[in-house]
């Protein structure tokens, strides 16, 4: 899936160089196209930007390669053009030199002037140089080499005919060469030489013309390619910019939304505070009245009150009292969530000692065997953690009340890893069924009937809330009728929130 899409994405800039590749999408490729779009929208912003930049990079690479290739051709052509130019010039020079040779030779035959013979000899001396240079210039063109071979032979024949005539002139004087002097010794060869040189010139000029056309086409292609490439890069960069811009806008929007929600949350929190204040003040008053008037009623009808009526009045009072307790517990619970937290070092040994001394009234008449290990110091809010252990110990005391000898153990789990300190309170009380364990720490959740053990069901909810605010965990394990163990894991120093 991914590799197929990559191929597609890399192919797209190449396609775009051809005229209108994207407009007509064959039926077969629309599926792949759709898959690509679907794949693209699954990418993260980073991956999209990376894809965009990769496409830009690939585009730059392709444009660069083609430009390099075309420029190379242009360079080669310009080298060849230089050589063609040299060749044409050389041919011209050779043509002139051969004409000159014929001309001066004739003058020599007529006048016998030595300077003319010298001029002819100069051409004869130059000839090998001309030939060598010519062969060098046309070494890549077999056609021209063929002509050059013929040209070379013709030049030799002209010069040797002239040399022969010179020898005859020197032997027999003007009269011996009179006929030759009028006709020209190599006149026929010179005509052929003209012919060959013209052919070679024409051939070379044609080659130059062809290269000029090819170079112009190459240059046009390069310019067009660079234009299209630049346009394509621009489009891709704009595309990448759009995504980055889009992402930034989106992030700004999210940040704004978060701030707005934060403000709403703060407002809601304030409202909740006002609510709990009003609960604390206004909800308690009617309860007080119920209990108060029930008491006043009992007092005023005391003589005529039968047992049933007395029980009814008592129930009214008890219910009002119980609801008062619930409201108080709920307020404590809500305050636990809002209250500012202190962060100090708490020596748990001291904390437990104080709790046990506070509980001593409740412990009267109970036989409890305490096992308390040496406990470490932890970081946290003293009054909150006091509440945690107060609740756990009070629970242990409460739920072992049916045992002749209660056993309560407070300790720390050794080797609990470096990140947290795990403390536990274990009892041999009635315990609970582990299937109800998830309910244990909920608000107003109770696993025992009210007539078995008293309580409002807020204690463990408070424990969990406090422990969570300390960045820790709280959980429990139990076997029904065998006892329960409550664990509190607090982060070690430096790992806390």
Partner 1 sequence: MTATKPILLAEDNPRDAELALAAMEAEHISDKVVLCRDGAEVLDYLYCRGQFKARPRGNPAVVFLDLKMPKVNGLEVLRTIKADVKLRPIPVVMLTSSREERDLTESYALGANAYVVKPVEFNKFLSAVKELGTFWGVINEPPPEGCRSTH
CB of 280 to partner 1, least distance (A): 6
Taking the least distance from each CB to partner 1, the nearer of 62 and 323 is: 323
Q: Are 488 and 346 in contact (CB under 8 A)?
A: no
- Tell me how many degrees the CA angle 152-153-156 measures, rounded to the nearest 5: 85
CB of 361 to partner 1, least distance (A): 17
> Count of residues binding partner 1 (CB under 8 A)?
22
Cβ partners under 8 Å of residue 396, min gap 6: 406, 408, 425, 426, 427, 429, 484, 486
Rounded to the nearest 10°, the torsion over CA 269, 271, 273, 278 is -160
| Mutual angle of helices 45-111 and 114-137, in 10-degree steps | 160
- Tell me how many degrees the CA angle 327-332-336 measures, rounded to the nearest 5: 145
Taking the least distance from each CB to partner 1, the nearer of 72 and 269 is: 269
320 binds partner 1 (CB under 8 A): yes
**Binding region for partner 1 (CB under 8 A) out of 57-65, 79-87, 208-216, 323-331:** 323-331
- What phi and psi, each to the nearest 5 degrees, are found at residue 46? -60, -45
Taking the least distance from each CB to partner 1, the nearer of 119 and 326 is: 326
**Among 62, 76, 16, 57, residue whose Cα is nearest residue 218:** 76
**Binding region for partner 1 (CB under 8 A) out of 191-199, 321-329, 411-419, 430-438:** 321-329
| Mutual angle of helices 459-469 and 382-399, in 10-degree steps | 150
What does the block give as tokens for 247?
């992402």
Cβ partners under 8 Å of residue 272, min gap 6: 334, 338
- Binding letters toward partner 1, positions 260-289, x by CB under 8 A: -----------------x--xxx-xx-xxx
Taking the least distance from each CB to partner 1, the nearer of 146 and 315 is: 315
CB of 390 to partner 1, least distance (A): 18
324 binds partner 1 (CB under 8 A): yes
CA–CA distance, 343 with 491 (Å, rounded to integer)? 13
Among 67, 221, 317, 445, binds partner 1 (CB under 8 A): 317
Binding to partner 1 (CB under 8 A) within 168-227 occurs at none
Among 43, 214, 254, 295, binds partner 1 (CB under 8 A): 295
Taking the least distance from each CB to partner 1, the nearer of 324 and 455 is: 324
Taking the least distance from each CB to partner 1, the nearer of 251 and 335 is: 335
Taking the least distance from each CB to partner 1, the nearer of 50 and 295 is: 295
Among 63, 73, 185, 294, binds partner 1 (CB under 8 A): 294
Cβ partners under 8 Å of residue 375, min gap 6: 347, 348, 349, 352, 410, 411, 412, 423
Residues forming contacts to partner 1 in the complex (CB under 8 A) are 277, 280-282, 284-285, 287-289, 291-296, 317, 320-321, 323-324, 328, 331
């Amino acid at each position: 899936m991914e590799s197929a899409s990559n191929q597609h994405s890399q192919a797209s800039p190449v396609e775009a160089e051809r005229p209108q590749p994207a407009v007509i999408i064959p039926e077969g490729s629309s599926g792949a196209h759709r898959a690509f779009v679907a794949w693209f929208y699954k990418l993260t912003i980073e991956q999209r930007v990376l894809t965009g930049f990769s496409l830009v990079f690939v585009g730059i690479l392709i444009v660069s390669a083609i430009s390099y290739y075309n420029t190379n051709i242009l360079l080669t052509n310009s080298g060849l053009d230089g050589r063609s130019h040299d060749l044409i010039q050389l041919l011209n020079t050779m043509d002139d030199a051969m004409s000159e040779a014929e001309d001066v030779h004739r003058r020599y035959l007529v006048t016998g002037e030595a300077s003319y013979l010298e001029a002819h000899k100069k051409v004869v001396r130059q000839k090998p140089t001309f030939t060598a240079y010519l062969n060098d210039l046309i070494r890549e063109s077999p056609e021209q080499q063929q002509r050059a071979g013929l040209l070379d032979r013709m030049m030799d024949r002209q010069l040797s005919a002239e040399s022969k005539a010179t020898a005859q002139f020197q032997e027999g004087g003007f009269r011996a060469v009179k006929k030759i002097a009028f006709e020209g010794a190599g006149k026929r060869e010179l005509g052929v030489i003209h012919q060959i040189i013209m052919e070679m010139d024409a051939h070379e000029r044609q080659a130059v013309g062809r290269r000029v056309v090819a170079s112009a086409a190459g240059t046009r292609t390069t310019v067009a390619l660079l234009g299209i490439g630049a346009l394509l890069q621009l489009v891709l960069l704009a595309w990448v910019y759009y995504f980055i811009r889009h992402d930034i806008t989106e992030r700004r929007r999210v940040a704004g939304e978060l701030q707005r929600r934060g403000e709403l949350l703060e407002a809601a929190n304030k409202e909740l505070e006002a609510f709990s204040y009003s609960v604390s003040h206004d909800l308690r008053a009617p309860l007080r009245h119920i209990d108060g008037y029930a008491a006043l009623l009992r007092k005023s009808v005391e003589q005529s009150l039968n047992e049933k009526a007395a029980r009814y009045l008592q129930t009214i009072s008890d219910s009002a009292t119980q609801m008062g307790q619930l409201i108080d517990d709920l307020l404590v619970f809500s305050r636990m969530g809002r209250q500012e937290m202190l962060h100090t070092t708490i020596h748990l040994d001291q904390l437990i000692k104080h709790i046990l001394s506070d509980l001593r009234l409740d412990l009267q008449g109970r036989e409890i065997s305490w096992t308390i290990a040496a406990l470490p110091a932890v970081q946290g809010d003293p009054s909150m953690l006091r509440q945690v252990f107060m609740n756990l110990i009070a629970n242990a005391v409460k739920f072992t009340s049916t045992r002749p000898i209660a056993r309560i153990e407070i300790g720390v789990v050794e080797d609990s890893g470096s990140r947290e300190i795990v403390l536990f309170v274990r009892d041999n009380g009635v315990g609970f069924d582990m299937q109800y364990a998830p309910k244990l720490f909920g608000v107003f959740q109770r696993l025992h009937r009210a007539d078995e053990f008293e309580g409002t069901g807020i204690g463990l909810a408070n424990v969990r809330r406090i422990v969570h605010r300390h960045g820790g965990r709280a959980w429990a394990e139990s076997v029904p009728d065998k006892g329960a163990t409550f664990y509190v894991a607090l982060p070690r120093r430096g790992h806390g929130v």
